[in-house]
A = this chain, B = another copy of it.
């Protein structure tokens, strides 16, 4: 089967300069994929050069959703935006997935309006991969929902587990809930009740995970509300940046330290590669009737290609069917309870 990915080429801090080369790289790496490049044709075509690949098509979109545009306005006014058209392509079955590095709120609002929610899911959630001491973990929600009910958190758990089980071929991935202590009595009411629901859900629920437990790899899926998840993610980004700056400063202090840097360079490069956040780029917007991936706004071509690969992977592994199936299993349980 050929997988078609619609790309919002105008989104992100760099627009087509990043998204188009990334798309071409993605095509080179995978023979079974096609891309539809959506955006201002005049900006996209020149970047294609003499590429005559039949697997690339360009779809003109006259408008662009700005990075700081209020989602409600983007939804109402930007019907001819690259983001909207890319999502429409998924709705119309012309693409199997859509990827954008644009305005997260707008992407969420438009996706939800155009694609609608899967049956049994109330709200979409943003699910990203984070590196851990032992591999990686999936964390959701990372900012789509600032106030979550226990039922929403349960749905996040089901969606996250379905995603991991589909993509990583794991039968029963472990699921934890982000909390401020390991004991059951800890946390706010929503989290405590959500833990009860998760425990009764039939998922492989391991209980509370503290902030440091994310990076220790204590669970393969970590559930949290979007406010807490977003703070955890951004705090991590900030800390990693600060540490990298300090390390660079120390190695730049004088001639001797610069010499040490030169000698340590291969090691530092390996270290950097190991923790490179670009490798984990591409967060899934779960719960929609369609596959939508959000790339980091500041992504470079390497990072954006990874988001495209993640989208293809989600299509290939049948994530949507897996979530739908799992939610349907859950319904009767919920009704009995």
Q: Which residues of A contact B (CB under 8 A)?
A: 68, 70, 131-133, 143, 146-147, 178, 180, 183, 185-189, 191, 210-216, 224, 226-228, 230-243, 245-247, 250-251, 253, 257, 259-261, 263-264, 266-268, 270-271, 274-275
A191 to B238, CA, bound (A): 21
The answer to whether B246 touches A187 (Cβ under 8 A) is no
Which of chain B's residues have a CB closer than 8 A to the CB of A270? 250, 253
Bound-state CA distance A240–B234 (Å) is 14
Given the interface contacts A211-B237, A235-B235, A242-B133, does A260 sit within 8 Å of B250 by beta carbon? no
**Selected contact of A131 from candidates B178, B215, B227, B242, CB within 8 Å:** B242
B267→A188 contact, CB < 8 A:
no
Q: Is the CB of A213 within 8 A of B231?
A: no
Question: Are A180 and B274 in touch, CB under 8 angstroms?
Answer: no
Task: Count copies of this chain in the complex.
Answer: 2
Residues of B within 8 A of A188 (CB): 146-147, 227
* Contact A235 B212, CB 8 Å, known A147-B189, A227-B180, A227-B228: yes
| A260 partner residues in chain B, CB cutoff 8 A | 263-264, 266-267
Please determine whether B267 and A257 come into contact, CB atoms closer than 8 angstroms. yes
